[in-house]
Structure 1
């Protein structure tokens, strides 16, 4: 199927069957997240992949008891860095140097550019920027899940402070941004499973400037 066919197939699944998603499909989705676009390539977030049923039962109340959290096979949590340190940028520079086989000294100007942008922002602004990068990764994850015929539900409906406490994110310098349950649709119980996709008309959504 084409990308457009896959995107027409996917929807924000409300009920899932509990069937386990094969590991190779999960790994493909995670690889897509890893390869997703990110401003300056920094990827200022950490991804938690939760299978543990006991933990998901604890998470469900802070997400307004949405059933997908227990009916899914895996729950992916996107957590953004709560502020960006020079040490984190240094680690990125080292990764570039190692991966591309270049001297780290050749990246000095690149590092200065990144640090200049970061230090011009407050800690809260740094977090908000990092959270926007996590949303880019979410978009890639949704497309990858659709390609694998795995249902996925982008989920903002939860108490971030409550989830942060459950996952000890503050101690890790992280704040939760969104969750993505992965599983298989339970068509008979999900009123949206057979509903037509509703999107804005092209003529209203796109403004073409020749």
Structure 2
């Protein structure tokens, strides 16, 4: 019930109080939640950029269609996908599994070989779409944690990825930005904060098959 109340409380914040900052311990919980997000095959083809620097946020503003949430928010989260998802990427993941779980090679090998073969047959466009889907999963997870922590957020697709890459120097990390999430605390004069949440009735969105 507390989770549902938190989800009812949250909304896409349009105006942040620029004087209020999210505590480091809460940012740490958010980043941990990001890292715990389930991803397809458990491969985690995503990384999170946490921007605190006000000068950098100001540089990003014109490439965010001048949405002021980017500069007024306490922190700006940029969800990125890995540019290089190949055989080595898969093998590195399985090396991690083996080191953490001490899983026998004969158990790991079939699934590892399947994934190496699977990704070798995909186009770069297909891999990028798959990885981007994982970023959306992560954002959904982060939004729920933010609501539980009573941190306001505004999920955004409206930005220029090429300019974000340039300003944040993402190419040297082999990353492409796909989503943006300003975090902070709502301003008292954000008229959207008092509006009732609009959702279709459950009977229109849920189909139960007994």
Q: TM-score range by the shorter chain?
A: over 0.9
Residue number in structure 2 paired with 1:134 = 135
Q: 1:203 deviation in Å?
A: 1.2
Q: 1:113 deviation in Å?
A: 1.7
1:5-24 residue CA offsets vs partner (Å, 9 max, x unmatched): 00000000011012110111
CA distance in 1, matches of 2:3, 2:118: 35
CA distance in 2, matches of 1:104, 1:17: 53
1:23-65 residue CA offsets vs partner (Å, 9 max, x unmatched): 1111111111111111111110111001011111111110011
- What SS class does the counterpart of residue 76 from structure 2 fall into? strand
2:205 is the counterpart of 1:192: no
- What SS class does the counterpart of residue 192 from structure 1 fall into? helix
Residues 105 and 54 of structure 1: is their aligned pair in 2 closer, same or farther, counting only changes over 3 Å? farther
Q: Gapped runs of 5+ residues in structure 2?
A: none
Residue number in structure 1 paired with 2:208 = 208
Aligned length: 209
CA distance in 1, matches of 2:129, 2:202: 30
Residue number in structure 2 paired with 1:112 = 113
1:152-185 residue CA offsets vs partner (Å, 9 max, x unmatched): 1111011112212222223432211101111000
* C-alpha RMSD of matched pairs (Å): 1.3
CA distance in 1, matches of 2:162, 2:105: 38
Matches within 5 A, 1:1-210: 2-18=2-18, 19-104=20-105, 106-188=107-189, 190-210=190-210
CA distance in 2, matches of 1:199, 1:82: 36
1:76-117 residue CA offsets vs partner (Å, 9 max, x unmatched): 100112241211111111110111122456411111121222
- What SS class does the counterpart of residue 47 from structure 1 fall into? strand
The answer to whether the Cα contact below 8 Å between 1:16 and 1:72 also exists between their aligned partners in 2 is yes
Residues 118 and 64 of structure 1: is their aligned pair in 2 closer, same or farther, counting only changes over 3 Å? same
Q: Gapped runs of 5+ residues in structure 1?
A: none
CA distance in 1, matches of 2:68, 2:41: 37
CA distance in 1, matches of 2:139, 2:80: 11
The answer to whether the Cα contact below 8 Å between 1:13 and 1:152 also exists between their aligned partners in 2 is yes
